[in-house]
Amino acid sequence: MRPFVIGIFGGSGSGKTTLLKKLKRVLGDEKVSVFTMDNYYLPKEHQKKDKNNVTNFDLPTALDEKLLEKDLLSLISGNQIEVKEYFFNAPVNETKKVLIRPKEILIVEGLFLYHFDGVKRHLDFSIYVEVNIKHQLSRRIERDQKTRGYAKKDITYQWYEHVIPCFEKYILPYKSQADFIFQNDTSAKEDMVRLNTRLRTLLK
């Protein structure tokens, strides 16, 4: 049986992964498979560089689009898939492989959810996660300092030179196509109730 496919997208640091975990919990862990587009980042040596020779990971070309779409279709078609779990800067030989089994609900999460036609066409319901842009930047700084060892000046550079242009060109234009706008701020609790109610109705 084909799964019900839920897509989650939004800018960097908007809270996509947090929402995904909450949805998985309320819908039932045993019923949900998760497909994370981040697992399809190409190795650093294949990434494009900007005018200052700084690697730009915030482009659709940063991902292996063909493999991503192939694996997603296979999973939707009822096949289990094995993917390399992405960890920033991890050596290829240390990358873990994870097995994803098909279940009745599939949540697909990623920046370029709507930009890749081979992903968009499979969606039954989509959620755009929105948060104040200042909060996004502060989350990005905290994450990249803690998990990637970046200096604040480098994070800020990437934010204004890579992240914001990517957001404005490849993510924000698709906001109006989302089935649900999730306000990840003081309205988050209320929006979670509304979202849960809507999904429960669709899944009946």
Asked if residues 15 and 131 have their Cβ atoms less than 8 Å apart, the reply is yes
Looking only at the bridges linking them, the beta strands covering 105-109 and 97-100 are: unpaired
Amino acid 93: pLDDT:
53
- pLDDT single digits (tens) 99-116: 999 999 999 999 999 999
Q: Which residue would you say has higher pLDDT here, 57 or 137?
A: 57
Residue 39: which pLDDT band, with cuts at 50, 70 and 90?
Answer: very high
pTM of the model: 0.91
- The token pair at 95 is 């990358």
Asked if residues 8 and 114 have their Cβ atoms less than 8 Å apart, the reply is no
Amino acid 1: pLDDT:
85
Q: Which CATH architecture has domain 4-199?
A: 3-Layer(aba) Sandwich (3.40)
Mean pLDDT of the chain: 91
Instruction: Say how far apart CA 116 and CA 164 lie, in whole Å.
Output: 19
Where in the chain are the domains? 4-199
